[in-house]
Structure formats: structure tokens, C-alpha cells
Amino acid sequence: MKVLITGANGQLGRDTTIVFEAAGHTVLACDRDKLDITDQQQCEEVVADFKPDAVLHCAAYTAVDAAESDIDGAYLLNAAGTRNVAVAAEKCGAKMVYISTDYVFDGLAEQPYQEYDAAKPRTVYGKSKLAGEMLVQSLSSRYFIVRTSWVYGIYGSNFVKTIMRYAQEKPVLKVVDDQIGSPTYTVDLAHFLLELALTEKYGIYHASNSGACSWYEFTQAILEEAKELLGLSVTAGLVPCTTEEYPRPAPRPRNSVLEHLSIRTNGFKDIRPWREGLRDFLKELKQEQ
């Protein structure tokens, strides 16, 4: 299979490129220099020249707080850019895989969100990603929309790396304990994207590592596993706090847990528990050091 990946220098894009290449597929990994998704003509030319069987659209505006004051920038990348990629993929008959987010929901539900629950984003980032979803659904005849949450991997800045650094630099770590979600290891997500892209089981999917925790519980697990696997010396004390004690420009979802209804009903094996993914991430990190 020939696969074009946008945002290939990003956290998910790099692991997706590695996973698809390791499986023997021909990959055109496009970073911003190779493919500016806001340039419609360039999108169509690059995609038409490569003639992919599938386009994995990982490029996105992901600065959640910055988006609140940069509305045009967020929509330019997440809506117009996604439209450009979707149109180009459709013209050459390629499957479209769009990476979306838990932020399309309001985060106020008591239960995990299913794929076909009503989307009610509360942030500019979430609204712009939902706009991308709507454009993919209206412009693509063969699409997968894959929503994920709390993503971390070896190739980017993320919560896990930040916590490990702060644990050695700060006297106290205050972490919110009233927001819950499912941490997602990019390698695990990339393997699911590979499995999905090889099928004709189109639609919306929620894909995260299994299980859920609060940011505070996630931090506890990071410190415990990093101490065991990496010998991390933790000098900081860990203290829970509320969302109100840690205000941000963009409101965070209280509940980011995604129900994997489509994974089950389409016969896929569920993604492994989040703590197993965390352990393998830390082992990978150790090998990189």
C-alpha cells in the first residue's frame, strides 16, 4: 500500500511513518516544508503525483490555549487545511484517515463518550477540529475519523516528559485530579491506524489506550514507572489540585474518556491498557538515552 502522511515530523506522524514502513508499505512522509496543507494547489499536486492508496492526515494546529486568541490560525490548519487534503485524496481515489480529538466533546458527561454522541466543543481548538471532521464527512467517500486523547510519544514534547523533568527540578508538583481521560501512546495508536487503513470499515472511531485515570493518577504512574525503569530521582512532592486552581485560557474537559464502541463492533482488538503503553514508552525512552 502507498501511504501519504501529513504532519510527519509531529509526535504521531513520526511513529506512524515508522510503523507503516516497518510493515512494508511505501510511505511519503510530508512535513510542512514538503507539503503546506493550507496551499490547496500544492496539496492536489503532491497527492496526485504520489498517487497514494491512503492519506493519513496527522498535521494539525494543536496549541489548545493559543487557539483561543488565534482563531483564524486554528481554522486555517484544522478546517481549510483538512479540506484541501480531503479533496486531494478524493480526487485520486485514496482513503482518508483524519486524526481528531476528545475536545470535540464538552467533557461534561458522566459516562465515556461513544463515537456517535453529539459533539459539543467548548474551545476554539475543539471547534476547529470538529469543522475538519465535518469537511471530511462531506468531501470524502471513503474516510476514517479517528478521535484520540492525551497523546504522548518519543518524538515530541508531552505531559510524560514534562512531569519527569519537573519531578527533578521542582519542590512540589501540583496536578489536577478532577479531569479524567485515557493516556495514549503514539506507537499503539499508529499500529491501530495501520490495521484500520487496510480495511474498508469506514466511519468514526475512538482510539486510545484502554482504561482511564486522572492527570494526578497518571502522574503517580509516570513517577512510579520512571523510578523503576529509568532510576528517576524524584525530588518533588506530589499534590492534587482542582481545575479551578490551575486556570488555563481554554477550558479543559472534565471527562475525556472515549468509549471504543466502533473498535468492538467492527471486530478489531482493543488497544492495550494505558499503563502498559506507558511502560513501553519509558523503555523506548531509555534506549534513546
Band of pLDDT at residue 236, cut at 50, 70 and 90? confident
Asked if pLDDT for residue 227 goes beyond 90, the answer is yes
Average pLDDT rounded to a whole number, residues 122-132? 98
Asked if pLDDT for residue 247 goes beyond 90, the answer is no
pLDDT at residue 102, rounded to an integer? 98
Q: Report d(CA 279, CA 32) in Å as an integer.
A: 31
pLDDT tens across 16-56, in order? 999 999 999 999 999 999 999 999 999 999 999 999 999 99
Is residue 168 a contact partner of residue 274, using CB atoms and an 8 Å limit?
Answer: no
Domains observed in the chain: 2-158+182-211+257-272 (3.40.50.720)
Asked if pLDDT for residue 250 goes beyond 80, the answer is yes
Sign of CA dihedral 64, 69, 70, 75: positive
Asked if pLDDT for residue 289 goes beyond 80, the answer is no
For the chain, give the mean pLDDT.
97
Beta bridge partners of 258: 113
Residues annotated catalytic, as ranges: 125
pLDDT tens across 173-211, in order? 999 999 999 999 999 999 999 999 999 999 999 999 999
